[in-house]
Copies of this chain bind each other. A is one copy, B any other.
Amino acid sequence: MYTLPKGFSLAVANADFRGKNLPRNDLSLVLCEQNAIAAGLFTTNLFKAAPVLCSQKNLNESKEIRAVVINSGQANACTGEKGMQACLQSQALIEELFSLPKGSVLTASTGVIGAHMDMEKWEEASYELRSNLGQASLEDYAKSIMTTDAFPKIAYRKIEKNGQEVIFAGVAKGAGMICPNMATMLSVLITDAAVDKETWTEAVRRAVQQGFNQVSVDGDTSTNDSLFALSSGLSGVSLEKTELQEILTEMLQELAYLLVKDGEGASKVMHITVTGAKTDEDAEKIARTVGHSQLVKTAMFGKDPNWGRIVAAAGRAGVAFDPDELTLTLCGVEIFRNGQPVDMDIDTVFYPLLDKTDIEILIALGEGNGKAHLKASDLSHDYVSLNSDYRS
């Protein structure tokens, strides 16, 4: 049982947005008892869902952010003017029910693109949120935002400073359309650390860069990706900038790792590191090309040390480098150097290594100091099943 940061209460409700009468919650609320210091990061997809646009507007224009409302089951993306109206209506309803100022509610939605929100269900479940307020635990909350996720994702820190407690609690959901620039994911981070808006915004941005932006499940970036980070400031404790940064980065990296581990149908997490490229951008291109290669992903799923697919993916990444200078180390064993495989019985060597969940792939070039890291999932039968089942 996690203690929440001071000033925050949670509520969850079952709106049955999926229309399947499942005993699962799909609407949730984070409420802050006073105006929060708030930061948000959103999808780079040109098609931004209505809740993304509405939340961006409130973050830009309002100084009184008090709540985050998330529904899973319907994305409210590519729904045009009607979708925008539905989103505004849902924000107004929460403002009214909880007596909050106008523009104080952030929203996020996840689910099938293009379907219109069922506003009757929304309204009914919102009343449930009000009557349940404060009864949901962090675990309940993490579960309520899940879609095809297999398990809830939580990162948590409790820190003592001069006898006073500071708490950070983060949740995230995946599990498909996960890629650069925030993944198809929603994430909420709350704390009672005392922070100023500028420091907080910059620390969150950097933590996302080192966390969510370095993972990939399937290379797709959704229309709904959103991260909200709210501080109540109510612990009264303010942390050093570097300590704050370290905590946020570590927590988002933990959540990012969980996203990949729970990637749709994933059985492996590839930890891909590229060093020695001319630039960090070159290194990132190679890491992403390897991490997105269907052939590399299926080989990992099959526990096959088919290193040629990794080398070939690096070679087609659109980055210029001397192929004779590339060294590939798989699970700590150097397997390719000087344009040819290192002599060994690869089956005997790799059989036990590739049986593990976490697979280290290190690609070293001889061009410069550019480096990058990416965590990527494998590609399994379950991924195909989950995503080809009608309207998953």
Contact of A80 among B292, B301, B320, B339 (CB under 8 A): B339
Cα A315 to Cα B48 in complex, Å, equals 9
Answer whether A315 and B46 are a contact pair too, CB < 8 Å, given A78-B336, A341-B114.
Answer: yes
Interface centre among A220, A321, A385, A388 (most CB of B within 10 A): A388
Within residues 210 to 266 of chain A, which ones have a CB less than 8 A from any CB in chain B?
A: 218-223
Cα A81 to Cα B339 in complex, Å, equals 8
Check A113 against B312 for contact (C-beta < 8 Å): yes
State how many residues of chain A have any CB contact under 8 Å with chain B: 65
Check A295 against B218 for contact (C-beta < 8 Å): yes
In angstroms, how far is the closest chain B Cβ from the Cβ of A297? 9
Check A80 against B312 for contact (C-beta < 8 Å): no
Q: Is A291 an interface residue (CB 8 A)?
A: no
Check A379 against B384 for contact (C-beta < 8 Å): yes
Cα A328 to Cα B213 in complex, Å, equals 29
Check A223 against B312 for contact (C-beta < 8 Å): yes
Closest chain B residue to A324, Cβ basis: B80
Q: Is A369 an interface residue (CB 8 A)?
A: no
Check B381 against A293 for contact (C-beta < 8 Å): no
Contact of A391 among B82, B221, B304 (CB under 8 A): B304
Q: Is A283 an interface residue (CB 8 A)?
A: no
Pairs of residues from A and B, 6 with the lowest C-beta to C-beta distance, nearest first: A113-B308, A80-B340, A302-B388, A298-B387, A47-B315, A46-B315
Instruction: Identify 10 residue pairs between A and B in the complex whose beta-carbon atoms are under 8 Å apart, listed by A's number.
Output: A47-B314, A47-B323, A78-B311, A81-B339, A82-B340, A114-B336, A179-B316, A294-B387, A379-B384, A380-B388
Interface residues of A (CB under 8 A from B): 44-47, 75, 77-83, 112-114, 176-177, 179, 181, 218-223, 292-295, 298-299, 301-304, 306-309, 311-316, 320-321, 323, 336, 338-341, 379-381, 383-385, 387-392
